[in-house]
Structure 1
Amino acid sequence: MAALGGSGLAAALLVTATACLTSGCSTLGYYAQAVSGHLAIVRAARPVADWVADPATPPALKQRLELSQQMRDFAVQKVGLPDNASYRRYADLGRPAAVWNVVAAPELGLRLKTWCFVVVGCVGYRGYFDEAAAEALGAELRAEGWDVAVYPVPAYSTLGALPGSWFADPLLNTFIRQPDGELARLIFHELAHQVAFAKGDTLFNESFATAVERIGATRWLATHADAAALAADARRDQRRADFRRLVMRYRGELEVLYASPASEADKRAGKARVLQAMRDDYAELKRTRWDGYAGYDRWFEHANNASIGVLSAYNDAAPAFERLFEREGRDFARFYAEVRRLAAASRAERRAALGIDDAAAPGGKDEPR
């Protein structure tokens, strides 16, 4: 499964935390963990060239690092992404994820709960550098009656908000060994967050980055992958598409159920039936199309309104951005200029330009929920 993006809060939280230290903030503890977690990653990072030159670096890691730099150059030269220090350094964190995200949705609804921050506005997740802290928040939210998902994120973006190597996103052990196509997608996705950012609009930001990763990875693979690698990537992409279609079909059933005049008890029973039917269809999909591939088992085991809602945020508007890329003549400079214009526009103008139904958009309006 492709990474569900990363926390785009790090650089903004660094800025906000500074203000909190002088003016006081009720969420200072959260900001502090974001700052310390990010700086710990940056301190652990060394230039890729140093890792490659170090005789103690395993040959397999050297190969992945060298490949990552080819992808990084490709991102600049062929995908029009920023040419800066991001992904020119590498760190081994000694853990399986960069951050853990917490998302929540009502028991009988699909709109994500949002948290609001001074710089980035309201977002439909909260990211932690410590898994235990993320699980603790998840437990609190469950006790309040929310559907909750806590999931590992291999990478995050600082949005290019601050200059200098201290704020350049490094390559990490959490994703460097992913298959070639997945590694390219992740690098292109995270760099896309540095191109444009709409305050408080997770759907816009993540769907844009998803569109860029798809376009960029297709171009990378077409020029750098052999037949076997292309076939393997096509199988992964087909499974990803099958997964999204299956989940979105059942999301539609849940939306109808939650909007119905049925009693809460009947909605709860209906929700259980829908989720079980989705799991049954997934088991059939694995058997008939995926040759038993089990990479999505954990997702379906824990599927709820929150996990379905966050999947929507990263994918729902991606086709609209792909169409925009086509309308701009497949010219990245024109495409990015238009996306930046929309990012600076009102939410209503963004939705209208992209043909998105705001009422159905995950996360809702830019206000706390």
Structure 2
Amino acid sequence: MFERSGRGALDCIFRCFVPAFAVLLLSGCSALGYYGQLAEGQWQLLRTRQPAARVVADPRTRPALRQHLQRAEAARVFASQHLHLPDNQSYRVYADLGRPFVVWNVFATPELSLQPITHCFPIAGCVAYRGYYRQGAARGAAALLRQDGLDVYVGGVEAYSTLGWFDDPILSSMLGWGDERLATLIFHELSHQQVYVQDDTAFNESYATFVEQEGTRQWRAARGLKAVSDEGLRQREQFIHLVLASRARLELIYAGPEDDIAKRAAKQAEFARLRADYRQLRDGQWHGDGRYDAWIYGPLNNAKLLPFGLYDQWVPAFAAVFKQVDGDWQRFHRRVAELGRLPAAVRTAQLQQLAPPRQAVSD
């Protein structure tokens, strides 16, 4: 996974919904082991939760934890009162995990394709990963997929949403974050409870990302803080652009007429180009800022590229919707819900009319 410096900038790319409750809706021996660990992991998490207010009031609570939870509650109130996000007990409870991640997600693709191996669940729809509550189980699943010749990537996840099925807790895995990053997560995940469209990850995540970004801007303004520098966002945008450009070139390679041996060689040459382009950007425009070094110099494969672009593809379109409703959050959420009820093709066409998505270059 990422170093701490890089994780803060890319964490939203890997925050994924894990439909643990799906085990209650499914049957079948072939899936029993997997869904059993989902149910067990979610149940343990539910048992660990306790009201954040109780933790704050406990004299044995560490001062740092108490302050963190108090500031999280302030952001939680802001989310409901000002951003008109669901007013429930999510992020008003706390759970001590005793581990750095709540789940580990396993992504997989064919060796010469960027099409993900998808997994479908009731309510949540189809997603491009499987989640595991134990790191060992995730690594074991990844090893089996590699034996089948697939490209595999395992990423740790510090938080996820259950779409309001349960009261999602503030997790001990979040305590290393700054208060503002925790607030942005609250805004993002509560957005999934507000509007969620089955089988449309780009729509769901772009909507939540816009709410996160605009909500954070208003959250800072409400506290009398200066606007966040655009430098970090600019670097993140440039890095994602690099990865999307590489992914677009790989798609052309895989669709080409060459044999598999030639495609494998071209694939490795493309990853070398991606690293070279990154070094040029880092050492030039970024003046040596290596926040993405750990990611770029780790092993690269198709599966590692999967999450990029999903979380902000339609952010400009949602920004246009927000402008159309004059920044009225209630009208904005209603308009987003209306878009979500449209047939997929019609919805995509309307989003394209509002603002074209960012395109990866293919030069």
TM-score, with length taken from structure 2: 0.87
One of 254, 258, 265 as aligned partner of 1:258:
254
- Between 329-338 and 148-157, report the one with greater CA deviation: 329-338
User: Aligned equivalents of 1:40 and 1:52: distance in 2?
Assistant: 22
2:129 alignment partner in structure 1: 125
CA contact (8 A) 2:124 2:199 kept: yes
TM-score, with length taken from structure 1: 0.86
Deviations 1:92-150, CA, capped at 9 Å, x for gaps: 21101111111112222222221112332211111111111111111122222222111
User: Aligned equivalents of 1:289 and 1:45: distance in 2?
Assistant: 45
Q: Could you tell me how far 1:230 is from its partner in structure 2?
A: 3.4
Matches within 5 A, 1:57-206: 57-160=61-164, 162=165, 167-206=166-205
Q: Could you tell me how far 1:5 is from its partner in structure 2?
A: 4.5
C-alpha RMSD of matched pairs (Å): 2.3
Q: Which runs of 4+ in 1 moved over 6 A?
A: none
Matches within 5 A, 1:339-358: 339-355=336-352
Cα 1:2–1:218 shift into 2, 3 Å = farther
Q: Could you tell me how far 1:252 is from its partner in structure 2?
A: 2.4
Q: How many residues align?
A: 345
- Between 78-87 and 32-41, report the one with greater CA deviation: 32-41
User: Aligned equivalents of 1:284 and 1:57: distance in 2?
Assistant: 47
Matches within 5 A, 1:5-20: 5-10=14-19, 13-14=20-21, 16-20=22-26
Deviations 1:146-177, CA, capped at 9 Å, x for gaps: 221110111000101x3xxxx10000111233
CA contact (8 A) 1:98 1:174 kept: yes
SS at match of 1:103: strand
1:242 alignment partner in structure 2: 238
Matches within 5 A, 1:303-314: 303-314=300-311
Matches within 5 A, 1:198-347: 198-224=197-223, 226-227=225-226, 230-231=228-229, 234-300=230-296, 301-347=298-344
Structure 1 unaligned residues grouped into runs of 5+ = 362-369
SS at match of 1:330: coil
Deviations 1:209-264, CA, capped at 9 Å, x for gaps: 2222112112222333645x834xx4432332222122122222222222322332
Cα 1:345–1:29 shift into 2, 3 Å = farther
Cα 1:74–1:334 shift into 2, 3 Å = same
Amino acid at match of 2:157: V
User: Aligned equivalents of 1:294 and 1:55: distance in 2?
Assistant: 42
Amino acid at match of 2:10: A
Amino acid at match of 2:201: T
Q: Could you tell me how far 1:76 is from its partner in structure 2?
A: 0.9
Q: Could you tell me how far 1:87 is from its partner in structure 2?
A: 0.2
One of 27, 38, 43 as aligned partner of 2:31:
27
User: Aligned equivalents of 2:43 and 2:117: distance in 1?
Assistant: 28
Cα 1:288–1:351 shift into 2, 3 Å = same
Q: Could you tell me how far 1:8 is from its partner in structure 2?
A: 2.1
Amino acid at match of 2:170: L
Cα 1:79–1:343 shift into 2, 3 Å = same
Deviations 1:274-300, CA, capped at 9 Å, x for gaps: 111111222233333445443322321
Cα 1:317–1:104 shift into 2, 3 Å = farther
